[in-house]
Structure 1
Amino acid sequence: MTSFPASIGVRLGTIAAAVAALVLAGCANYAGIHSDKQMTQPAALESTQSLPSEGGQWPSLGWAGEFGDPQLPQLIDEALTGNPSIAQAQARIAKAQSYIESARSDLLPKVNGSYSVTRELLSGNGLYPPPFGGNWFTEHNALASASWDLDLWGKNRERVKASLSQEKAAEADMQEARITLASSVARTYNQLAQLYALRDIAAREIRNRQEVGTITNGRVSAGLDTNVEKQTALGNIATSQATLSDLDGQIKSVRYQLAALLGKGPDRGLQIAEPALATGGNVALPSNLPADLVSRRPDIVAARWQIEAALANVKEAKAEFFPDINLAAAIGLDAFGWAHFLTAASRTVQAGPAIHLPIFDAGALRAQLKGRYADFDLDVANYNQTLINAMSDVATQVASIRSIDTEMSDAQRALDASTEAYRLAVIRYKAGLSPQLQVLTADSNRLAAEQTVTNLKMKRRDLQFALIRALGGGFDAQATGVAAPAAAGAQAASTPSAG
């Protein structure tokens, strides 16, 4: 065993003590900087009355095929393939993956090589005396170097964790973009169906008013009505025709909107056939909805991964307070003239550790750590708000659907009654037993009732699409590989620093 002189041992002990003291001082520098923010747990949000357990199923990925119109899932698939928003989300994932590769590279040793040739004239009155001074020389230099950051405090590892979390968040964001796009296509398609249904009503109304106009003409000829009733009938027919033209214009506009959602030009919208959507079935909420919603909504999953990334960034910032130790070595050749370049005497070798220790940085590291904690607080608040909004979204859609179901029965009874009233009014008018005004009043009531029932049916289906979207649209974090870790992991950042 090699022994060192006592003086060298004393000096080494003094250096070690100084380094230890500086390390402890660096650790103490972030004392008092912490966060008290907590992630909201679904159970803490009261929802048993608004979101009762009804034994229903979560939406499947093929939910669009459950509405009986094969064109709808085809349009959604086309949109998911061609819409630029999906390409944007995929680009964000690729960018996040590049950050992971960059962060991982800091965990491994790095090796570099260089070679240079310098032609230089040495001064005759400078450092080098004749025969070197005053002559031209060619210097060859080749160097191979290697360095390795030991990452004793995990700074680089935390950077990798942050990048991995950002990638997961980007993947969840892409799923969110897909679900949002699919829902937008379905709801716009339902709007197209609604306009077609209203157009059918308007077309029937034209025929009804033309029938009334024919009766009016006969009554005018018989002297039972005047030109006033005749012009009124003609005006009503023209009004219905104007409504039909307006609906045709709206249909074309919605077709163009669908084409844009598909990522195609407006002509693609003109090729879409008239919708043939079936009426949606009963609505039953899944069991354990609040707790399972956090893994069924991609926006909640993405917000959760953002917290994980922020937590890793906090730990990375804390590691900045400790010393960095970098091992470096280099070997090469350096000589004037090619003849001596490849000889053993031209070798250069250097090796040794490099230690970087923050001693006084005017508060820069503390400011950086405070900023990272602020990011963490922001991400926790965003997660909590996203969770609250998600539960409110589901409750709102369900309440609206139940309200329409109740309203629908009354509206249908009103339509049945007004339809019968109109039929009787036409018979009496034709028989000369009642005036035209009674027919027109009955017709207006029947038309409004029919439009109300149609709009309620379409609104209910639109709300069903919105509810499917609120329940995650078939997304499952476990199945897609983006499930976030348990919430307890993020609470570590909320405890005060111990250093």
Structure 2
Amino acid sequence: MKHLFQFAPTGQSRVKSAVAAAVAALALAGCANYAGISSDKQIAAPENFEATQSVPGQGGQWPALDWAKQFGDPQLPQLIDEALADNPSIAQAQARIAKASSYIETSRSALYPKVNGSYSWTRELYSANALFPPPYGGTWFSENNVLASASWELDLWGKNRSRLNMAVSQQKAAEADMQQARVTLAASVARTYNQLALLYALRDVAQREIANRQDVGRITNGRVAAGLDTNVERRTAEGNVATSQTNSTELDGQIETVRYQLAALLGKGPDRGLKIAKPVIDPNVNVTLPDNVPADLVARRPDIVAARWQVEAATHNIKEAKAEFFPDINLAAGFGFDAFGWGRFLQASSRQIQMGPAVHLPIFDAGALRAQLKGRYADFEGDVANYNQTLINAMNDVATNISAIRSLDKQMADAQRALTAASSAYQLAVIRYKAGLSPQLQVLNADENRLANEQTVTNLRLKRTDLQIALIKSLGGGFDATSNDLAIDGSGQNQASTQAANQATPSK
């Protein structure tokens, strides 16, 4: 329901009537209310989840933005920088930020008065048999109308301010999402590069195996010439060399495929991948956990920060919906000239002046506003649940990587002992075979065991590097909400927003 009161500046009685009507309208605002609509959902605090045993403090530092340098390969940081500069996924995230920024500008404009100007010229033939008698009827006339108008919505209950705050929170969430995209992309480049390093290491193993089997083949040829072996052993040795060469060729194909994958991560064509040099990653890098990981993780993981800003946006969304239950008051004024023809167009007698308030208040809306508010609370509870789940997943991510590294270190010790033993057994078998003290089959068995153990050690060594990169990513990959201006002012990362949402009563 709308009431529009217009009055002339000299009509004091009309002014009083308009003000009285506005006051009465405000008094009726209680007809539609949001009593009984609230939420008891809260964002979880990190201390609510026990993690001291799974994620123990080790006195380390949080990853820096240039964390890739610690792996000792100068090519890796360059590839990450190239990916972050040109990748379409980052451009998509930046576009979302720009769109959120436009919402902020739109919402901010609602806080200020609007001024418009208009001019119209109308040429009209008035009917001689209608409202206007001669000499107007039956004659053409031109009407000139110019008007400058201004309007201002008095945001008494904070609706527009809440909408602006919501837009700001959504932009912050979009910025955190972009940081998450950067962290994910950097880790993906590093892990794919490490996969390339693993394939090269396995290829080196395959090349050494070819050389070893060629040595065995030469020994076999000598034994055949001495009558100690037959062509069966000779053909077996030749077949083993061919098998090793097949394995090496297969690894060459896998290396080329991973190069193409890296090129795609860099946002370039496949030929870019062919220019990547052989990795020289240091496999002995060890990431040490900082102290108080669970509590500080909420400011170090961009996905948690983004989820927190979504909760903040939902809180302001509720405040806006509550303000809808209160009257909207708009002030409007206009000044201009209106006259037939041009002769008296800009004279004082042609002035036109308009002013007055417009009040819109909800009295009966069949429950539409209450339904809208319930929907906003549902969004809020969904965002709270998403934040809590993101926090749980983040802590589990760190704990899982720590556990995997611990397990792998134990496997490495056992695998290294197995490789040492298998290598010694192989060397002794070759010596005995060459001296005619053992058959070829013993050498082949020892060779298979040594090869399997060397491949296991190589896989474990590079898998540990992959887990170190995954741990860096789970610790935020160098992100810091404070340094990126994404910390939530005044509320803290561990404080629930439920009270703010439930007490979001418009200020009077």
Q: TM-score, normalised by structure 2?
A: 0.94
Report the Cα offset of residue 480 of structure 1.
1.2
Write the deviation string for residues 462-492 of structure 1: whole angstroms up to 9, x where unpaired: 0000000000111111111111242436122
Report the Cα offset of residue 281 of structure 1.
3.1
**Matched residues in 2 for 1:420 and 1:16: separation?**
98
Alignment check: 8 A CA contact 1:31 1:497 kept: no
User: Is residue 245 from structure 1 mapped to residue 249 from structure 2 by the alignment?
Assistant: yes
Alignment check: 8 A CA contact 2:44 2:496 kept: no
**Matched residues in 2 for 1:217 and 1:12: separation?**
115
SS in 2 for 1:111: strand
Write the deviation string for residues 391-414 of structure 1: whole angstroms up to 9, x where unpaired: 000000011111111111110010
Alignment check: 8 A CA contact 2:111 2:155 kept: yes
**Matched residues in 1 for 2:431 and 2:284: separation?**
37
1:299-338 paired onto structure 2 within 5 Å: 299-338=303-342
Alignment check: 8 A CA contact 2:115 2:150 kept: yes
Structure 1 residues 12 and 118, CA gap change in structure 2 (3 angstroms): closer
**Partner residue of 1:372?**
376
**Partner residue of 2:28?**
22
Report the Cα offset of residue 35 of structure 1.
1.0
Alignment check: 8 A CA contact 1:280 1:464 kept: no
Write the deviation string for residues 317-343 of structure 1: whole angstroms up to 9, x where unpaired: 000010000000011111111122111
User: Is residue 402 from structure 1 mapped to residue 406 from structure 2 by the alignment?
Assistant: yes
**Partner residue of 2:93?**
89
Structure 1 residues 362 and 141, CA gap change in structure 2 (3 angstroms): same
Query: Which 5+ residue runs of structure 1 have no aligned equivalent?
Result: none
User: Is residue 138 from structure 1 mapped to residue 132 from structure 2 by the alignment?
Assistant: no
Report the Cα offset of residue 209 of structure 1.
0.9
SS in 2 for 1:58: coil
Which amino acid counterpart does residue 367 of structure 1 have in structure 2?
Answer: A
Report the Cα offset of residue 494 of structure 1.
5.5
**Matched residues in 2 for 1:122 and 1:283: separation?**
89
Structure 1 residues 277 and 170, CA gap change in structure 2 (3 angstroms): same
**Partner residue of 1:273?**
277
**Matched residues in 2 for 1:390 and 1:488: separation?**
18
SS in 2 for 1:335: strand
Alignment check: 8 A CA contact 2:84 2:185 kept: yes
Which amino acid counterpart does residue 303 of structure 2 have in structure 1?
Answer: D
SS in 1 for 2:124: strand
Alignment check: 8 A CA contact 2:263 2:273 kept: yes
Structure 1 residues 315 and 219, CA gap change in structure 2 (3 angstroms): same
**Matched residues in 2 for 1:350 and 1:16: separation?**
18
Alignment check: 8 A CA contact 2:224 2:231 kept: yes
**Matched residues in 2 for 1:100 and 1:403: separation?**
49
**Partner residue of 1:438?**
442
**Matched residues in 1 for 2:500 and 2:486: separation?**
22
**Partner residue of 1:215?**
219
SS in 1 for 2:298: helix
Structure 1 residues 497 and 154, CA gap change in structure 2 (3 angstroms): closer
**Matched residues in 2 for 1:337 and 1:362: separation?**
51
2:487 pairs, out of 477, 483, 486, with 483
Structure 1 residues 498 and 185, CA gap change in structure 2 (3 angstroms): closer
1:454 pairs, out of 444, 455, 458, with 458
SS in 2 for 1:334: strand
1:277-292 paired onto structure 2 within 5 Å: 277-292=281-296
1:147-162 paired onto structure 2 within 5 Å: 147-162=151-166
Write the deviation string for residues 31-75 of structure 1: whole angstroms up to 9, x where unpaired: 111111111110000111101122111111111001111000001
Which amino acid counterpart does residue 169 of structure 1 have in structure 2?
Answer: A
Structure 1 residues 17 and 91, CA gap change in structure 2 (3 angstroms): closer
**Partner residue of 2:42?**
38
Alignment check: 8 A CA contact 2:318 2:501 kept: no
Which amino acid counterpart does residue 82 of structure 2 have in structure 1?
Answer: E
Which amino acid counterpart does residue 498 of structure 2 have in structure 1?
Answer: Q
Write the deviation string for residues 97-140 of structure 1: whole angstroms up to 9, x where unpaired: 11111000000000000111111111111111111111211211
**Matched residues in 1 for 2:23 and 2:50: separation?**
57
**Matched residues in 2 for 1:230 and 1:136: separation?**
117
**Matched residues in 2 for 1:119 and 1:14: separation?**
42
Report the Cα offset of residue 313 of structure 1.
0.4
What is the CA RMSD across the aligned residues, in angstroms?
2.1
**Matched residues in 1 for 2:477 and 2:191: separation?**
13
**Partner residue of 1:101?**
105
Which amino acid counterpart does residue 401 of structure 2 have in structure 1?
Answer: Q
Of all paired residues, the percent bearing the same amino acid is: 70
Alignment check: 8 A CA contact 1:34 1:496 kept: no
Which amino acid counterpart does residue 259 of structure 2 have in structure 1?
Answer: R
Structure 1 residues 369 and 13, CA gap change in structure 2 (3 angstroms): same
Report the Cα offset of residue 15 of structure 1.
4.7
> Number of residue pairs matched?
494
Query: Which 5+ residue runs of structure 2 have no aligned equivalent?
Result: 1-9
**Partner residue of 2:185?**
181
SS in 2 for 1:477: coil
**Matched residues in 1 for 2:286 and 2:80: separation?**
23
**Matched residues in 1 for 2:503 and 2:197: separation?**
58
Which amino acid counterpart does residue 305 of structure 1 have in structure 2?
Answer: W
Write the deviation string for residues 273-327 of structure 1: whole angstroms up to 9, x where unpaired: 0000112333421111110000010110111011110000000000001000000
